[in-house]
Amino acid sequence: MVTAAAPARRPAAPVPPQRVVPSPDRDTFVKKVLKSVATGADDCHVLVERLIVEGDGEAASVDFHPRLTVLGGMPGDARGALGSLLSGALHGTVRGVHLEVVDDAGRRLVVLRPATGPHRVIDVLTSADVTAQHRGFDGRVDLLSSQYGRSTVTRITAADLRNRTPRNDAVRALSAVDQVALWGTADELVGRGGGRGDAAATWRSLAGDTDVHWALDHRTEIQAAARLRQHIAALRSLSSSAPDLSDDDAVALAQGIVTQLTAATNSPGCRPPVLLDETFDQLEPAVVPLLLELLPGLVGELQVILLTDDEAIASWARLEALAGELALVEPALAAD
């Protein structure tokens, strides 16, 4: 993983505006996400709802889904610029770039970073100035500063997926067995404090010597790998154009994506959005749609922003956006 580069002081020129397709279920998703993280008192969650960029007397903006946003029509320089603007707006290292966010208490905040004058944070509901609550140890108004230090925006690239993809024999083996039987047995074992003898025997027949608690800790990886294997097997039975991907490679790929997202989830301190920067660029084209189908179920508590210039990914996102699973923005910035 790499982090978004430190932004220049003046924001990059905005991408020519077209249209924004927001999710109709934004508030529902926000409430679910905030409820799911309410028990993590030591965590700081920042849901970015809107990024606003000033320039040449005009303003451009992009709206984000609380879970997954796909930004289409984004060549490499535009992806880099947007990542820097987002990082700079959160950290307070740029001017003329503003944010609308939801904090982990459910408050809607406006982060104002004018071209001149002090930066401010305003509570939308009460109109109260809450800037002091977000001032870091160095005096900067930084939404990602906490008792753990200063968090950074995580960017996952195609190189990260290629070079940091693990291969775990236990994940591969468990992804090949009946998932309903596997997790039903695991839940029974854990729920019964060790399980009855028949449950323990069933677990050994399915999982061998793999510890049930280890399996539960890696459940997301195992299930993602199993689904990807099943998708590929189904395509092979229906079409000669199925991706040329071995089971081992499919498992490693699914595990790589989950591992990257899990690392961002478990990092201490404030949890900003995660950028997928053309992450699937170097994969076989037939594999990409299969991975995209897994993505909405893998983001968990994260807010993920997928930046791409791939029209095939944008086409997939257009359909998913209709169901409220994500938001599609084409291209990244729209005129206000």
The whole-number mean pLDDT for each consecutive block of 10 residues of the chain, a chain of 336 residues, reads: 44 39 42 40 74 85 92 92 92 91 90 92 94 86 80 87 76 91 92 70 93 92 87 73 70 82 74 90 83 83 91 91 88 51
One domain, residues 209 and 297:
no
One domain, residues 160 and 173:
no
Residue 258 maps to a domain: no
One domain, residues 32 and 16:
yes
pLDDT value at residue 106: 87
Residue 103 maps to a domain: yes
pLDDT value at residue 129: 93
Contact 151, 269 (CB under 8 A): yes
Residue 96 maps to a domain: yes
One domain, residues 178 and 49:
no
Tell me how crowded residue 40 is: count the other CB atoms within 10 A of its CB: 12
One domain, residues 157 and 217:
no
pLDDT value at residue 37: 38
Residue 299 maps to a domain: yes
Residue 284 maps to a domain: yes
The secondary structure of residue 253, as a DSSP letter, is H
Contact 303, 48 (CB under 8 A): yes
Residue 80 maps to a domain: yes
pTM of the complete model:
0.76
One domain, residues 51 and 159:
yes
Element (H, E) at 200: helix 197-207
Alpha-carbon 64 to chain mean position: 12
Which residues are paired to 102 by β-bridges? 47, 108
Contact 106, 36 (CB under 8 A): no
Contact 111, 98 (CB under 8 A): yes
One domain, residues 159 and 206:
no
Domain region containing 80:
2-164+272-335
One domain, residues 245 and 96:
no
Scan for tokens 């930066």, then name that residue.
119
Q: And the tokens for 305? A: 């922003």
pLDDT value at residue 6: 43
Half-sphere exposure of 323 toward its Cβ, with a 13 Å CA cutoff?
A: 7
Backbone φ, ψ for residue 217 (5° rounding): -65, -25
CA distances from 275 to 46, 210, 261, 284 (A): 14, 34, 10, 21
- Tell me the Cα Rg of the chain: 22
One domain, residues 133 and 216:
no
One domain, residues 327 and 210:
no
Residue 262 maps to a domain: no
One domain, residues 106 and 199:
no
One domain, residues 151 and 198:
no
Residue 189 maps to a domain: yes
Number of domains in the chain: 2
Scan for tokens 């608690």, then name that residue.
213
Domain stops at, among 204, 226, 253 = 253
